Amino acid sequence: MISPDSALAAGGLLDPSGLLTAAGPWVLVVIAAIIFIETGLLFPFLPGDSLLFTAGLLATQMGLSLPVVILTAAVAAVGGDQVGYLIGRRFGRRLFKPDARVLKTVYLDKADAFFTKHGPQALVLARFVPIVRTFIPPIVGMSQLPYRKFVLWNVIGGVGWVVIAVLAGFWLGRIPVIADNVELIAVGIVVLSIIPIVIETFRARRRRAD
């Protein structure tokens, strides 16, 4: 039996298909853990989008029930945001520093601007934006948004994100050219998810240089 740690080592975060295949009977645990950590423990550099897409793509091949995959990932996504909200409510900005490796103040500021612009609906929109989806929950936790309203939008966003990503993988997986190139497709999604991060980092450096 392969443990979740072995799955991470074998597949690697840039190869979601290898990661899920290596997880064996622990595959649902691995999916839930990665989604929960990305959305709840303030660690944005995980393959949430590509993992969900690949899970849908390989569900039949791995003998997984599609509804079970969706339910598992949705619970992890909603629960993760709940934890993020509580972190923001309890610790506020004290965890973030300008020169931190992960919890950079700049990420918090961007999530804050995103929430200010879109309001509670940001909890839905942010699910589809790497990094922003990680830091929106603590921002909301620091805001005056009523908790009931947060829960409502959190559930809508979490379930919507998971359903769209998993079903996209499931249905597109029926196209032969995609089914025959699962690894390349998964890596491509990871790269596309990283591009906005790279662009924003480059812009920030140029602003500092100016």
Query: Mind listing the pLDDT tens digit for each residue in 37-47?
Result: 988 887 877 77
pLDDT digits (tens, 9 = 90+) for 61-82: 888 999 999 999 999 999 999 9
Average pLDDT, the chain: 79
Residue 115: the pLDDT is 77
Residue 193: the pLDDT is 61
Region class of 97: left (phi > 0), else alpha (psi between -120 and 50), else beta: beta
C-beta of residue 134 within 8 angstroms of C-beta of residue 44? yes
Look up residue 86 and give its two tokens: 């509580």
Strand partners for 104: 97
Statement: residue 121 has pLDDT above 50 = yes
In this predicted model, which residue has the larger pLDDT, 184 or 49?
A: 49
pLDDT digits (tens, 9 = 90+) for 147-177: 888 899 999 999 999 999 899 888 887 777 6
Mean local confidence (pLDDT), 114-143: 81
Statement: residue 1 has pLDDT above 70 = no
C-beta of residue 58 within 8 angstroms of C-beta of residue 22? no
Statement: residue 6 has pLDDT above 50 = no
Say what percent of the chain tops pLDDT 70: 75
> Sign of the C-alpha dihedral, residues 198, 199, 204, 205?
positive
Closest CA to 137 of 53, 10, 41, 3: 41
